[in-house]
Structures are given as C-alpha cells and as structure tokens.
Chain A
Amino acid sequence: MKSSITVKRALAPRTTVRAALAPPAAILTALVITWQVAVTAGGVQPAILPSPQRILQQGWQARATIWENTLPTLQETFLGFAVSLTVAWTLAILIDFSLGLRRALVPLLVASQAIPIIAIAPLMVIWFGFGMLPKVIVIALVTFFPVTVGLIDGFNRTDRDAINLLRSMGANRWKQFVYVRLPSALPSFFTALRIGIAYAVTGAIFAEYVGAERGLGIYMAMMKNSFRTDLVLAAVAVTAFVSVCLFLLTYVAERAIIPWHSKERRSRHG
C-alpha cells in the first residue's frame, strides 16, 4: 500500500453498447412485426393505418424532401436549446446567489410552466411570423424550466459540511460556488439536460406544426392534409430517431465533461 505506483481501479465491467441496445430493439421489432401482420391480415386502408413496410418504402422514396425538412428542425432545436441553456444557467446562478431573487423568480418560473403552449404557439406565428424566432422561443419556453430547476436543486444539494470546510479555508461565496457548488451540481445538470432535450425536439415540431416555411412539423401537417398517413408516420419515425440521438449525445457530453462522475458511481455500485 505504501509505495505502489499502480492505482487499483475497482471498476465493475462496463455494460457494452450492444448489451444496452438489444432488449429495446427486440421489443421494438416485435411491435413492428405485430403491426405489419395486423394491418396486412385486417386489410386496413393505408390512409387510415399504413403498414410499417409501406411507411419505410414511401419514406425512403421521399427521403430528399424529408431530409430537407429535418435540417431546419434540427437547427431550431439546437438554437432554441442553446437559448434555453443560457437562460437556465443565468437564472439558476442568480437564484443561487440571492435569496431575494429566489423568492421573486421561483414562483414566476413555476407560473411560466402553466402557460398553455398549445394556445401560445399560434399567437407566436402572428407576432413573429413563419421564421426561426417563434420556434426558438417555444423550444426555449418548454425546455428551460426542467434545466433551471435541475441546476437550482443541484446547487442546493451541495454537502453543508463541504461548504463549512471551504469557509474554514477562507473561501468567500463566489469561491464556494466555483470550488464546490458548481461541480456538485453538474450531475443533476446532466439529468435535467436529458429531460430538456427530450422536450426540445417535440417543442420544435409543435412550433412548426402551427405555421412554418419548412421543417418536419409543417411537413407532417401538410402530409396529414393530403391523407399521406404513411409519410406523416415516416416523419414521426425520423423525429423519434433524432430525439434518441440527441439524448445519447448528452451521455457523451457527460462522459467528456464530468468523467469522474460515472467512474465514481461505478466504483460505488460495482
């Protein structure tokens, strides 16, 4: 123990990506097969419920159009989420430093979540037109709350004894924040980020649905109006795929930014 240079890493074997993906993939495949069989056997009209095979076929044929509409949706999602993160961090830090601001802002934050987006989104089109801005606002509005709350909660979850230790070292409030509260909050931040990103794509689709020049949302609306149920569902599948990719991306970011978190967790539960 005294002078051994090698550090023993008591890590549990990592679950491989394949092992993590296999069970959901199996369930998904089973569902799709059931769907295919039911539609074929029941003779359901494609305009009512197309078979997965048809969705795939038609979706592939329309891939250029779908891709053209996916890009603006992605753009809006990233931009809206960036605005959302900026707002969330600013609010959470302000609230962490000021009890007065906490009392003033937290009720308003909660109230902001009572705004029915479904009623506001069409107004956004009237106010801001068919461009990017109303989408960015809707996405930011639906996603900033979970992230802000996650951050505030994360800052507050800092060990009181750790704060006292820092105080005994002579750390002022700012240093306490930088050295302990901020890093302590990062695991909760990433949890909140996952909740936020899950809402972000749906938020974008919704904002487009009520009025846009391009995007998956308006594409779905138009296809619905021309009874192309298959292409609506193809766009839905693309949306789901994009959401899952963004969700997984948060894990990549988490590993990169707070590598200590997963290592420590694994060593504790290993």
Chain B
Amino acid sequence: MAEMTTPKIELRAIRKSFALSRGQVRPVLDDITFSAQPGEFVAVIGPSGCGKSTMFNIMAGLEGASSGELLVDGDVITGQHEHCAYMPQKDLLFPWRSILENTSLGLEVAGETKKAARARAASLFAAFGLSGFEDAYPFELSGGMRQRAALLRTVVQGRDVLLLDEPFGALDSLTRTDMQSWLQGVWSQNAWTAVLITHDIREAIYLADRVVVLSPRPASVRLNLTIDLPRPRGLSMTTSAEFAEYERTLLATLHEETLSSRKP
C-alpha cells in the first residue's frame, strides 16, 4: 500500500558533508532515503551524534544538502522552508510573550494579523489541555505544559509535515509517559504527518507507524520497520508480546550498529 500513494514527504539519497580545515571533509549524512505517507507518524532513532539534527535542518530548509532531493507531495522542495513545521528540543517559548502570543508566533511571522493568528491558536488550546493559560507566561507553566504549548505552536502553522526533535527529551519520565499517551491520543484524531527524532526506543514504537533506524555517522538508513500495532494504543500495549518483539528487533539493530562502529 505504501508504494501506491505519493508520499507526503520523501528523502531521496540525501548526503551532507561539512568542510573541515585543510581541505578535509567530514561526511555526516550518507544516502538517507525514507518517506512518510500522508497521516503517517515516522520515528527516527539512531546513536547520539549520528547526524539526526542535520537531517532535520535539511528537512526544515535551514541547511542545504550536499546532494540528494527532498520531496513534498512529489515535488522537489530541497532548501525551502514553507513545508515543514519544526519543533526543536528546547521548548523555546519566549519569556516576553504570553502563551497565546507564543503559540501564534508562526502565523504572525507568516503575515497573518495578530488577531487572526491568536484566534486560530486559541481554538486549539482546549485540545492541548491549555485552556485558561492563554494569558499566562511560560515561566508559570510546568514542563509538560510548555512542551504542549510548543507543539501547539508547531501544529497551528498548518504545514504539510511536523518535525519533532526529541520533544520530550527534557521531561521527567512520568511526565514523559503522560505526554506520549496524550500525543498518541490527539494524533489519532488528526491527520498530521510527522517525523519524530528520538533516542527512546519505546517512545518510537509506542507513537510511530514506522521506525527508521540510522547508523552511526556518517548516517545511513539501516532498518525501516513498520510498527503494526492497532490504534488507539493504550499504555498497556507497551507490555504486550508484539511490543517486546519490536523492541528486541530495534535494540538488536542499534546495538549491532554501535558495536560495529567501535571496530577500527
């Protein structure tokens, strides 16, 4: 089925290397190829420092690729930034803006009037569990709420693809589990296409339709695993036999990667 429709976003043989001093070149991405179908949630995991952030910067149009193509709806869009909405690791809520003003920032930057931008963002507050906090300031919110506000700021931009860069990495594990099950819930009610970077295997299986495993730097795709678990997924599913099987497969792939990278 995946081969039949045009992917929402597709990376074709993306390579990226950085010039070092004295003419040396450090390859960071080596032939990254994968795609996400419309409405699909793809998780990308890989050893730390493997170049995931560079990959995201290219997808968000913040950096160019050395070679390869990025496609949205079948059109080449390498280097453009209008297609992906980016949620960085840090929530980056600005202390001088209220939560409503923070969440409507992307729309304002895109040229909408303040009033229209704020009205659009405000309409999502209930779904994001932020009702009543429109006029609060970021420092008044808990870590989980701040991440939800950052996600709202990402979603409300109405871009084709959401890029989530370890959105829950800084949260304590209880809040993190809460956020994962909440995200899983809002996900099932929306037709968002998303690519999530994480180094949490369980988070990847729990949230994603497909998990892409990257090798150590220079990164290439080593495994593209479809997670065939029914939705909506409850927390109890994380203890099921199938879940454990996926976890074993991913762990083995990652572990093998890490081991082989240590060999001379």
Taking beta carbons and an 8 Å cutoff, which residues of A are in contact with B? 1-10, 159, 161-162, 164-171, 175, 179-180, 183, 186, 258, 260-261, 263-264, 267-268
Give bound CA distance, A260 to B99, whole Å.
Answer: 13
Q: Which residues of A contact B84 (CB under 8 A)?
A: 168
Give the contacting residue for A264; candidates B85, B86, B139; CB below 8 A: B139
Inter-subunit contact B132/A183 (CB<8 Å): no
Instruction: Give the CA-CA distance A179 to B94 in the complex, in Å.
Output: 9
A1-B62 Cα distance, complex, nearest whole Å: 36
Question: Total contacts A to B, CB within 8 angstroms?
Answer: 80
Q: What are 14 sample pairs from A and B whose C-beta atoms fall under 8 A apart?
A: A3-B132, A4-B132, A5-B132, A7-B140, A159-B92, A164-B88, A166-B109, A169-B105, A179-B105, A258-B96, A261-B96, A263-B137, A267-B139, A268-B139
Shortest CB distance B185–A (Å): 13
User: For chain B, what secondary structure do more than half of its interface residues adopt (helix, strand, loop), or is it mixed?
Assistant: loop
Q: Let me know if A168 and B137 touch, CB within 8 A.
A: no
The answer to whether B140 and A165 have CB atoms under 8 Å apart is: no
**Minimal beta-carbon separation of B82 from chain A (angstroms):** 6
Which size class do B's interface residues fall under?
20 to 34
| Distance of A84 from chain B, by nearest CB (Å) | 25
Query: Which one of A167, A169, A263 has the greatest number of beta carbons of chain B within 10 Å?
Result: A169
Contact A3 B131 (CB under 8 A): yes
Across the interface, do B131 and A170 meet the contact criterion of CB distance under 8 Å?
Answer: no
Contact B57 A179 (CB under 8 A): no
What per-residue 1/0 map shows which CB atoms of B91-134 lie under 8 Å from chain A?
Answer: 01011100000000110111000000000000000000101110
Which residues of the other chain, B, contact A168 by a CB distance below 8 angstroms?
60-62, 81, 84-86
**Is the CB–CB distance between A175 and B109 below 8 Å?**
yes
Partner of A167, one of B81, B92, B142: B81
Alpha-carbon gap, A164 to B82, bound state (A): 13
Q: Is the CB of A161 within 8 A of B109?
A: no
- B60: chain A residues at CB < 8 Å are 164, 168
Identify which of A4, A5, A260 gathers the most chain B CB atoms within 10 Å of its CB: A260
Q: Is B78 an interface residue (CB 8 A)?
A: no
Q: CB of B157 within 8 A of chain A? A: yes
Determine if A165 and B92 form an interchain contact, defined as CB atoms under 8 angstroms apart.
Answer: yes
CB distance from A131 to the nearest CB of B (A): 42
Residue B231 at the chain A interface, CB threshold 8 Å: no
